[in-house]
Amino acid sequence: MMTLGLETSEAWGGVALCQKRTGLGEVTLEEPLRHAEALLPALERLLAECGVEKEGIELVSVNRGPGSFTGLRIGIATAKGLCQSLGVPLVGVEGTAAYRARVAGEALVCVVIPCRLDLVYVQWFGRKGPRSEVRVMKRSALLSRVRGEGRSLCVVGSGAEAIRQDLEGIPGVKVAEREANRPSPEWVARLGEEGYRKDELYLLEPAYADAGLAAP
């Protein structure tokens, strides 16, 4: 299935094509926070580079969050418009799951995504899936929680880069490679292809986490 992935949940975004769990191509946006203006031109460039007609897209997968309020709305609105014009189904992917999938061999994983100021979105995963809901935490509270784990832990996500030095000083904790800590439309496409069960065109909404409930 030819799957288009849209990533607009963070400052940097992009588009990618995937088929049979294999990435065919990816175009990242050249400037941050320009999703509305740059997303469709990026798609045209991607299709041209991959030699694929727009009508060849069979499924659209979009990051539904957590992430930027505006970015998520732009991505989902664009995805729905494409699906309606092409007559293809839509699937939403959890952004935390897209990061977790990049370190699939790790037993215990903490995904960290920037929220605002000193806040981050956080979700813990075990081998069999999520071990918590997405939470909004202060960076200091997250570091305290990680120090208290007392076992091997992999931290992944764009939010991990800002506190990499602090995390790498904690025994048993490792931070994923920098390549794994960037938003990836290819992984959105891959997880969408793998997880697609039914069309979410009229059901999909952004997944927000309330920053007002941040852990102290």
- Tokens matching residue 120: 């981050």
Cα–Cα distance between 102 and 180 in angstroms, integer? 6
How confident is the model over 28-42, as pLDDT tens digits?
997 887 899 999 999
Which phi and psi angles does 211 have, rounded to 5°?
-70, -15
- pTM of the predicted model over 0.85: yes
DSSP string, 37-104: HHHHHHHHHHHHHHT--GGG--EEEEEEESS-HHHHHHHHHHHHHHHHHHT--EEEEEHHHHHHGGGT
- CATH code for the domain defined by 3-96+182-210: 3.30.420.40
Domain locations in the chain as residue ranges: 3-96+182-210, 102-180
Cα–Cα distance between 206 and 190 in angstroms, integer? 19
Fold of 102-180: Nucleotidyltransferase; domain 5 (3.30.420)
- Tokens matching residue 144: 């305290």
Cα–Cα distance between 191 and 183 in angstroms, integer? 13
How many other C-beta atoms are found inside a 10 Å radius of the C-beta of residue 205?
12
How many other C-beta atoms are found inside a 10 Å radius of the C-beta of residue 207?
18
Which pLDDT score is estimated for 191? Answer: 98
How confident is the model over 180-199, as pLDDT tens digits?
999 999 999 999 999 999 99
- On whether the CB atoms of residues 160 and 112 are closer than 8 A, the answer is yes
Tell me if domain 3-96+182-210 and domain 102-180 are identical in fold. yes
Q: How far is CA 152 from the centre of its chain?
A: 24
Q: How far is CA 129 from the centre of its chain?
A: 16
- Tokens matching residue 48: 């041209």
How confident is the model over 68-95, as pLDDT tens digits?
999 999 999 999 999 999 999 999 999 9
DSSP 182: S
CA dihedral in degrees (102, 103, 105, 107; nearest 10)?
Answer: -140
**Per-residue pLDDT band at 216 (split at 50, 70, 90):** low
Which residue intervals of 101-200 are DSSP H helices?
Answer: 139-147, 158-161, 164-168, 185-195
- On whether the CB atoms of residues 167 and 155 are closer than 8 A, the answer is yes
How confident is the model over 146-174, as pLDDT tens digits?
999 888 999 999 999 999 999 998 999 99
